[in-house]
Structure 1
Amino acid sequence: MSEASSRDPSRVWYAAYGSNTHAERLACYLAGGRPPGAARTFPGGRDPRPPERSVALVLPGQVYFATESPVWGGGRAFYDAAADGTAWGVAHLLTVGQFSDIAAQEMYRAPGADLDLTEVRATGRCSLGTGRYETLVCSGVLDGLPVLTFTAPWPMPEGGGEGGEEDGGLRPPSAAYLRHVAAGLHGAGAWRPAEVAAYLAGCPGAAGHWTPEAVAALSVPTAPTGPPGPPSRCRPDPRRS
Structure 2
Amino acid sequence: MVDTGAPGSAARGPDGGALVWYVAYGSNLHAARLACYLRGGRPDGGAQDHPGGRDRRLPRRTVATALPGTLYFADLSLTWGGGSAFYDPAPPGNVPCRAYLLTAGQFSDLAAQEMRRRPGADLDLAPVLATGRAELGPGRYETLLHVGELDGHPLLTFTASRGVAGAELNAPTPPYLRTLAAGLAESHGWGPWRAAGYLATRPGAAGHWTLRAVAALLG
Distance 1:118 1:9 in 2: 15
1:123 match: 131
Is 1:154 matched with 2:153? no
Q: Quote the offset at 1:212 in angstroms.
A: 2.3
Q: Secondary structure at the match of 2:22?
A: strand
Cα gap change, 1:80 to 1:9, in 2 (>3 Å):
farther
Identity of matched residues, %: 59
Unpaired runs of 5+ residues, structure 1, are 158-166, 221-241
Match for residue 141 of structure 1?
A: 149
Q: Please give the alpha-carbon distance, in whole angstroms, between the structure 1 residues aligned to 2:96 and 2:198.
A: 8
- For 1:36 and 1:112, the matched residues in 2 are separated by 25
Alpha-carbon distance change, 148 to 9 in structure 1, aligned in 2, over 3 angstroms: farther
Question: What code does the residue aligned with 1:196 have?
Answer: A
- 1:86 maps to 94
TM-score norm. by structure 2 comes to: 0.89
CA RMSD across the alignment:
1.9
Give the conservation status (yes or no) of the 8 Å contact 1:9–1:145.
no
Measured against aligned partners, the alpha-carbon deviations of 1:72-114 in whole angstroms (never above 9, x if no partner) come to 1111100011222111111111111111100000111111111
CA distance in structure 2 between the aligned counterparts of 1:94 and 1:213, rounded to whole angstroms: 37
TM superposition outliers: structure 1 runs of 4+ over 6 Å = none
Shift of 1:11: 0.7
Does the 8 Å CA contact 2:12/2:18 hold for their aligned counterparts? no
Q: Which residue of 2 aligns with 1:176?
A: 175
Helix, strand or coil at the partner of 1:217: helix
Match of residue 206 from structure 2: 207
Give the structure 2 partner of residue 233 of structure 1: none
Amino acid at match of 2:193: A
Q: Is the 8 A contact 1:175 1:218 kept in 2?
A: yes
- Please tell me whether the aligned partners of residues 11 and 95 of structure 1 are also in contact (alpha carbons under 8 angstroms): yes
TM-score (norm 1): 0.81
Alpha-carbon displacement from aligned partner over 1:19-71 (angstroms, at most 9, x marks no partner): 11111111110000111211111000011111111121110111100111121
Say whether the 8 Å CA contact 1:64–1:78 is kept in structure 2: yes
Residues in 2 aligned to 1:13 and 1:171: alpha-carbon distance in whole angstroms: 29
Give the letter aligned to residue 177 of structure 1: Y
Give 1:4 deviation, angstroms.
Answer: 8.0
Whether 1:196 aligns to 2:195 is: yes
1:36 to 2:59 alignment: no
**Structure 2 partner of 1:13:** 21
One-letter amino acid of the structure 1 residue matched with residue 48 of structure 2:
R
Cross-structure match for 1:185: 184
Shift in Å, 1:131: 1.1
Q: Is the 8 Å Cα contact of residues 29 and 105 (structure 1) preserved in structure 2?
A: yes
Q: Does 1:113 align with 2:112?
A: no
Aligned length: 208
C-alpha contact (below 8 Å) 1:68/1:171 kept by paired residues: yes
| Corresponding residue SS for 1:57 | strand
Q: Distance in 2 between the 1:25 and 1:57 partners?
A: 18
Moved more, 206-215 or 169-178: 206-215
Q: Which runs of 5+ in 2 are unaligned?
A: 1-10
